[in-house]
A and B are shown apart, each in its own frame.
Chain A
């Protein structure tokens, strides 16, 4: 069994992993950049090691610094979390060379699924349907343009090097092709160091449905059902839930076919540990297509934990330690409904630009059936250098409508002040008739978000309260006379 685990990450996921380790008696080692000296994850671990400057490229993305830190701390294993180096085959290899257990799949599986073009091949060979598409041999602007013309507009230009919406552009108009191809290539190069592009046909009214899988080192493999993440803004997930409304409304055989395809694709690359196979579902046609495999723990793993009652991080640690999966496929069941909302430091009124700053007031609600995974505290900072995720709020209940109502109630009772957040925007989505009907596709938010009207004007009673002495952290000992919110 792993004895001492280095967590090569920060924020809420580092805290989530620390919690699992505490429960099963594994010592934890946090790493922190100069910007995170006083961050919640730095303080929560059994020990913490500084790994350099705030810029991620010189700290959380530095393989030598992380390996040195693991050695210095006497760690015997490394958990990469999500993002940063979690899907980096070179990092997994460096861990192996240093005699450290990497809590994730083998480097070969990371490399093959990390190349999104190779991943399509693997999935197709394993019998999973893939979105019709092309990889241009000639990667010049003209070459990519010819491939797009051959496939026919509209298309999605995607990066071979990775996902997450980076290096990805929808092309609807022939006049935009060259500009969008250049933008996608620039983004892909910056994000993945690989400017190779491929093209997929756009699946109309597609639903994003993904299957959680986990495999041990003894041939054991299981799926933990699906999550639907169709509420996306520019290909970034905003709300995730399980079970999927798209599958619940479809032929029951579709879920069985998709989970089987996910397990087959994972088996085909010799997958180990937790991973997620993403699909697009064309509900009208009753069809599904392999999109990509995420070779790590997902941000939204808590949704699956809420409906299955399984601790995925604990399962990851057991599997990485060489143990068998702690349950057989038949023993995995799902109950009720769970929905997660991602609370971001961003300003919906200004094009969702990421926000940074001090959390002058931050109070998480405590309610039955609501789980909040966060990596911040009141008085702490949201640094500019990293992903602006503040917290994940996961509500579970017997039915989907009850879970939606519970999540909205939790968000209404979750004050975060000092930086702009998307909390009101999330509530608006949850209350949208189409979301409540379970018929939202992946284009919904980009199409409708502009119509969400925000109420700028504060009610009189809020203005009255705002005249009072504020919270201790936000209060500065200066005279507030001469400042009048009625005039503001």
Chain B
């Protein structure tokens, strides 16, 4: 048995868990703050409850929850910016169109909100995780 009742480690990152008399196999990996698990074709991920990012070069930190930063999912070129600062957007609206791997990828708003700032320009090459648009 492992530290948690009903959980037996049966291999590197592999656990058998007793569930109402039957057993399930769960795979677990990742450091604290970014843990992954796999069970029966499904993947689960837990990142730190209060994820924070460094702001600029200073030590000032801010909570993402306060406002939403839309970031590039991968290194990409900005093909088009579809919104203006101050504009209200709905969930699913296209904010920015990227080009990566020779495909155009629309970046859509994950929720309703207002465009607080646009942090990229058309034609820019941006690294993965670069902030493109801030919503509030």
Interface residue B41 (Cβ < 8 Å from any Cβ of A): yes
- List residues of A (447-488) whose CB comes within 8 Å of B's CBs: 455, 458-459, 461-462, 464-476, 478-480, 482-485, 487-488
Residue pairs across A and B with Cβ atoms less than 8 A apart, 25 shown, are A165-B103, A166-B103, A183-B104, A186-B99, A187-B99, A190-B102, A354-B73, A361-B28, A408-B41, A416-B43, A417-B38, A418-B29, A418-B30, A455-B42, A461-B6, A461-B26, A462-B44, A464-B17, A466-B35, A471-B29, A474-B31, A482-B32, A483-B33, A488-B47, A488-B49
CB distance B17 to A423 under 8 Å? no
Instruction: Give the interface centre of A361, A416, A467 by most chain B CB atoms within 10 Å.
Output: A361
CB distance B9 to A469 under 8 Å? yes
B132 to chain A, nearest CB (A): 13
Query: Given A384, A464, A479, which contacts B4 in the complex, CB threshold below 8 Å?
Result: A464
- Give the interface SS of chain A, mostly helix, strand, loop or mixed: loop
Query: Given B13, B46, B99, B128, which contacts A190 in the complex, CB threshold below 8 Å?
Result: B99
Question: Which are the 4 A-B pairs with shortest beta-carbon distances?
Answer: A471-B13, A474-B29, A488-B46, A465-B26
Which A residues lie within 8 Å of B5 (CB)?
A: 464
CB distance A462 to B37 under 8 Å? yes
Interface residue A356 (Cβ < 8 Å from any Cβ of B): yes
Given the complex of chains A and B, what is the CA–CA distance between A487 and B46 in angstroms? 9
**Least CB separation from A485: chain B residue:** B46
Interface residue A412 (Cβ < 8 Å from any Cβ of B): yes
CB distance A417 to B36 under 8 Å? yes
- List residues of A (305-364) whose CB comes within 8 Å of B's CBs: 347, 350-351, 353-356, 360-361, 363
B78 to chain A, nearest CB (A): 13
- Give the interface SS of chain B, mostly helix, strand, loop or mixed: strand
B133 to chain A, nearest CB (A): 15
Which A residues lie within 8 Å of B54 (CB)?
A: none
**Least CB separation from B9: chain A residue:** A468
- List residues of B (2-32) whose CB comes within 8 Å of A's CBs: 2-7, 9, 12-15, 17-19, 24, 26-32
Number of A-B contacts (CB under 8 A): 163
CB distance A459 to B39 under 8 Å? yes
Which A residues lie within 8 Å of B6 (CB)?
A: 461, 464
Given the complex of chains A and B, what is the CA–CA distance between A414 and B46 in angstroms? 20
CB distance B17 to A461 under 8 Å? yes
Interface residue A255 (Cβ < 8 Å from any Cβ of B): no
Interface residue A411 (Cβ < 8 Å from any Cβ of B): yes
Binding site for B on A (CB under 8 A): 165-166, 183, 186-187, 190-191, 347, 350-351, 353-356, 360-361, 363, 384, 387, 408, 411-412, 414-418, 420-421, 423-424, 427, 455, 458-459, 461-462, 464-476, 478-480, 482-485, 487-488
Binding site for A on B (CB under 8 A): 2-7, 9, 12-15, 17-19, 24, 26-33, 35-49, 73-75, 79, 99-106, 108, 128
Which A residues lie within 8 Å of B43 (CB)?
A: 416-417, 420-421, 423-424
Q: Do A361 and B27 contact each other (CB < 8 Å), given the known contacts A187-B102, A464-B4, A480-B32? A: yes
Given the complex of chains A and B, what is the CA–CA distance between A51 and B12 in angstroms? 36
14 more A-B contacts (CB under 8 A) besides A466-B44, A476-B31, A478-B32? Answer: A186-B79, A186-B104, A190-B99, A191-B102, A360-B30, A361-B27, A423-B43, A427-B41, A461-B24, A462-B26, A465-B4, A467-B3, A473-B29, A483-B48
Given the complex of chains A and B, what is the CA–CA distance between A429 and B15 in angstroms? 28
Query: Given A387, A420, A458, A484, which contacts B101 in the complex, CB threshold below 8 Å?
Result: A387
Which B residues lie within 8 Å of A360 (CB)?
A: 29-30, 36
Which B residues lie within 8 Å of A415 (CB)?
A: 27, 38
CB distance A468 to B4 under 8 Å? yes
Q: Do A354 and B19 contact each other (CB < 8 Å), given the known contacts A360-B29, A417-B29, A466-B28? A: no
**Least CB separation from B42: chain A residue:** A424
Q: Do A470 and B128 contact each other (CB < 8 Å), given the known contacts A354-B74, A417-B36? A: no
CB distance B106 to A351 under 8 Å? yes
**Least CB separation from A388: chain B residue:** B101
CB distance B104 to A471 under 8 Å? no
Given the complex of chains A and B, what is the CA–CA distance between A462 and B6 in angstroms? 11
Given the complex of chains A and B, what is the CA–CA distance between A364 and B102 in angstroms? 30
CB distance A356 to B74 under 8 Å? yes
**Least CB separation from B73: chain A residue:** A353
A467 to chain B, nearest CB (A): 5
CB distance B4 to A467 under 8 Å? yes
**Least CB separation from B35: chain A residue:** A466
CB distance B19 to A466 under 8 Å? no
CB distance B41 to A468 under 8 Å? no
**Least CB separation from A165: chain B residue:** B103
Q: Do A361 and B29 contact each other (CB < 8 Å), given the known contacts A420-B43, A464-B17? A: yes
CB distance B44 to A487 under 8 Å? no
CB distance B44 to A458 under 8 Å? yes
**Least CB separation from A473: chain B residue:** B29
Given the complex of chains A and B, what is the CA–CA distance between A408 and B12 in angstroms? 24
CB distance A465 to B73 under 8 Å? no
Which A residues lie within 8 Å of B37 (CB)?
A: 417, 458, 462, 465-466
Query: Given B29, B79, B104, B108, which contacts A470 in the complex, CB threshold below 8 Å?
Result: B29
Which A residues lie within 8 Å of B35 (CB)?
A: 466, 470, 483, 485, 488
A190 to chain B, nearest CB (A): 5
Given the complex of chains A and B, what is the CA–CA distance between A471 and B30 in angstroms? 7
A352 to chain B, nearest CB (A): 9
Instruction: Give the interface centre of B2, B18, B31 by most chain A CB atoms within 10 Å.
Output: B31
Query: Given B38, B74, B103, which contacts A384 in the complex, CB threshold below 8 Å?
Result: B74
CB distance A475 to B31 under 8 Å? yes
**Least CB separation from B127: chain A residue:** A384
CB distance A417 to B27 under 8 Å? yes
**Least CB separation from B19: chain A residue:** A461
